[in-house]
């Protein structure tokens, strides 16, 4: 049996309003369409990895409320191991309010709730599965202290960590040095390096700066301009697949989940990024975070086109 992918991170319920354009501060825009969907960067990555063919264990904290019940039911339907999802009796499940405009671009506000109560002690219960994992995948919608402890735990067991540094926040070199693959978008790469990333040249500079700080490999995702992969001795640009975007929410999450699956399977980083780009391209053609994550057969068919 293959070794699991352990995803440690957030779970939210997304409240989505699709509008012609995103309101400016103080402005009211009418004409929106409302829907809800399961979301949260950690949960989206766990679901994306499971649908892409991974054996996934999700470590998270949700409230003892109906949103938490629905989230866990969804993970179970996707075949995810939910044994290490803690129910928090005192704090509500995470919620995100998302505006999506006519071009599929979004703006997100998160009430983290129980996600910010995922503690290092919750991780200790999962140490056995972390030790046995092919890869650990994390983001930054849980306390940084918990991310630090998880990275140390994975390192102690020789398990590689993929860190998607989203949402953007500064990180210490001591943490970066223990990351096998860092996957920032332009904004996150800018926040981590102080370099304004606007194109491939500035993305390269940011990647080299991050590799200089000790990250083994960096993949900067540049949306419809593809991604840039930087390892010890190479920088490779991998083009995006052209599609018509309906909603870009969770495209990065789907990319990370699919990337983790390929690495767990021992595929080359180049093939892994191409597979992950295809998964992300499919996801932006659909509304919602988890509803947009494609299955393995869908990704394989897309790659054959
Ligand atoms: O990356 C997209 C996700 O960010 C959404 O699902 C929302 O819940 C926020 O966490």
Please indicate whether residue 253 is annotated as part of the active site: yes
Does the residue 104 lie in any domain?
Answer: no
Q: Is 44 in the pocket of ligand 1 (CB under 6 A)?
A: yes
Q: Which domain holds residue 66?
A: 5-9+41-92+115-303
* CA 57 – CA 80 distance, rounded (Å): 6
Residue 249 in contact with ligand 1 by CB distance below 6 A: yes
Whether residue 26 is contained in a domain is answered as no
Q: Return phi, psi of residue 14, to 5°.
A: -95, 130
Side-by-side strand order, sheet with 85-88: 85-88, 56-63, 5-8, 135-138, 161-163, 181-182, 217-221, 227-230, 235-238
Total domain count, the chain: 1
pLDDT, tens digit only, all 305 positions of the chain = 589 999 999 999 999 999 999 999 999 999 999 999 999 999 999 999 999 999 999 999 999 999 999 999 999 999 999 999 999 999 999 999 999 999 999 999 999 999 999 999 999 999 999 999 999 999 999 999 999 999 999 999 999 999 999 999 999 999 999 999 999 999 999 999 999 999 889 999 999 999 999 999 999 999 999 999 998 778 999 999 999 999 999 999 999 999 999 999 999 999 999 999 999 999 999 999 999 999 999 999 999 98
Query: pTM of the prediction?
Result: 0.97
The helix/strand/coil state of 47 is helix
188: Cβ below 6 Å to ligand 1? no
**20 within some domain:** no
Q: Is the CB of 47 under 6 A from ligand 1?
A: no
CA 144 to each of CA 57, 92, 151: distance values in angstroms, whole numbers, following the listed order:
20, 20, 10
**How far does residue 232's CA lie from ligand 1's centre (Å)?**
31
- Please report, for residues 26, 78, 85, 184, 281, the alpha-carbon distance to residue 48 in angstroms, rounded to integers and kept in the order given: 36, 9, 17, 18, 13
Distance 39 CA to ligand 1 centre (A): 5
In a domain, 15, yes or no: no
Answer yes or no: are the C-beta atoms of 92 and 114 closer than 8 Å. yes
Burial of 98: CB neighbours in 10 Å, binned 0-12, 13-18, 19+: buried
Ligand 1 atom having least distance to the Cα of 252: 1
Mutate to test the pocket of ligand 1, among 7, 14, 183 (most ligand atoms within 8 A of CB): 14
**Nearest-angstrom CA–CA distance, 183 and 163:** 6
Q: Is the CB of 15 under 6 A from ligand 1?
A: no
Query: Relative to the CA of 39, which ligand 1 atom is closest?
Result: 6
CATH number at residue 151: 3.40.1190.20
Q: Which alpha helices (H) appear in 16-133, and where do they start and end?
A: 41-51, 66-77, 120-125, 127-131
């Amino acid at each position: 049996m293959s070794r699991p992918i352990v995803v440690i991170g957030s779970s939210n319920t997304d409240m989505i309003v699709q509008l012609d354009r995103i309101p400016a501060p103080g402005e009211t825009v009418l004409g929106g369409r409302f829907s809800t969907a399961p979301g949260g960067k950690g949960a989206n990555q766990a679901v994306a990895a499971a649908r892409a063919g991974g054996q996934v264990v999700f470590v998270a904290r949700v409230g003892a409320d109906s949103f938490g019940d629905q989230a866990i039911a969804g993970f179970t339907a996707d075949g995810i191991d939910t044994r290490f999802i803690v129910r928090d009796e005192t704090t509500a499940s995470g919620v995100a309010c998302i505006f999506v405009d006519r071009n599929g671009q979004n703006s997100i506000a998160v009430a983290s709730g129980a996600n910010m109560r995922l503690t290092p002690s919750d991780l200790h219960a999962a140490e056995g599965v972390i030790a046995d994992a092919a890869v650990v995948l994390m983001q930054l919608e849980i306390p940084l202290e918990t991310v630090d402890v998880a990275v140390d735990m994975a390192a102690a067991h020789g398990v590689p960590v993929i860190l998607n540094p989203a949402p953007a926040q500064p990180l210490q070199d001591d943490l970066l040095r223990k990351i096998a693959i860092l996957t920032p978008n332009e904004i996150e790469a800018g926040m981590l390096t102080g370099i304004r990333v606007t194109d491939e040249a500035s993305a390269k500079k940011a990647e080299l700066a991050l590799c200089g700080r000790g990250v083994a490999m960096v993949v900067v995702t540049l949306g419809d301009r593809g991604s840039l992969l930087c390892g010890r001795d190479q920088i490779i640009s991998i083009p995006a697949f052209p599609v018509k975007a309906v909603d870009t929410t969770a495209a990065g999450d789907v990319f990370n989940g699919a990337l983790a699956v390929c690495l767990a399977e021992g595929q080359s980083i180049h093939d892994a990024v191409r597979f992950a780009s295809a998964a992300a391209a499919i996801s932006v053609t659909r509304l919602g975070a988890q509803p947009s994550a494609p299955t393995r057969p869908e990704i394989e068919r897309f790659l054959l086109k």
